[in-house]
Amino acid sequence: MRISKSLTVMGVLTLLTLVYGNISVSGHAGEDHDVSISDAVSEILSSHGLATLDTLNCDVVTTEEWERLGEAVMNQQHPDPDQHEAMDNMMGGEGSESLNQAHSNMGKAYLGCTKGSYGMMGAVRGTTMMGFNQTGSNESMMEGLYNMGFGTSSYGWGGVILFWLIAFAIIFFLVRSFSHTKFEMGKSKSALDILNERYVKGEIDKAEFDSKKSDL
């Protein structure tokens, strides 16, 4: 019975590990790391019928558009696919709310659409003063924007911490179960203990019990 319980716990632990690993890498095949900043900005302008960014109202930009722009900003900072994926996983993994929020924040910061931000639009919309052109933005500004988006990665770590808390709890239960089983197996019953058990179970009467007890 204890072996069956231990195997069940081990199975659950293995399943948790597989599920967590799958979440961490899910969606990588469908990631769009090739989008450029200029393309993302052009799509925003086109979808709202605008020619330049100086007439853009930040409030009309959709969440998906912010996320796509933020993805482009991050791609500019981390062009290597493996490195990009690693950073995505640190912020919650592809498809997670925390990663989407990070991308959205980065997109908004890039166009100066967050409180206190001083992105490209915050300086001079539609110009190249802050380094925006057809190929991207100034690298130093990219680093600052990335750090702003990366601040949301703590949400992603919450899931990681919860997973390991559950895993450690299961491991503790498993070790304790094995230790208890080993302790029970190590205990040896004396002849008197066995005699008492037989008497309690009714296997022998009092006379036989007293007789055998006197022989011990």
| Domain boundaries along the sequence of the chain | 1-26+157-216, 31-151
What is the tens place of the pLDDT at every residue in 158-194?
667 777 888 888 888 877 777 666 555 555 677 888 8
Pinpoint the alpha helices (H) of 26-80.
37-47, 63-77
- HEC string for 125-143: CCCCCCCCCCCCCCHHHHH
Confidence of residue 3 (pLDDT cuts 50, 70, 90): low
Tell whether pTM > 0.85. no
- pLDDT tens-place string over residues 202-216: 888 888 888 888 887
| pLDDT for residue 152 | 40
More confident site: 34 or 21: 34
- Given its phi and psi angles, is residue 131 left (phi above 0), alpha (psi -120 to 50 degrees) or beta? left
Asked if 36 and 77 touch (Cβ cutoff 8 Å), the reply is no
Q: Report pLDDT for 139.
A: 44
Amino acid 175: pLDDT = 78
Answer yes or no: is pLDDT of 143 > 50.
no
Residue 24 CB contacts under 8 Å (≥ 6 apart), including other chains: 89, 93
Tell me what the pLDDT averaged over the chain comes to. 72
From 144, 84, 77, 133, select the one nearest 110 (Cα to Cα): 144
When pLDDT is averaged across residues 147-156 and rounded to a whole number, the result is: 45
Tell me which of 21-35, 71-85, 151-165 is least confident.
Answer: 21-35
Q: Which amino acid is at 29?
A: A
Choose between 88 and 160: higher pLDDT.
Answer: 88
Asked if 145 contacts 110 with a C-beta cutoff of 8 angstroms, the reply is: yes
Sequence-ordered list of residues with C-beta below 8 angstroms from that of 135, at least 6 positions apart, any chain: 36, 38
* Mean pLDDT across 151-158: 49
Within 13 Å, how many C-alpha atoms sit on residue 209's CB side? Answer: 15
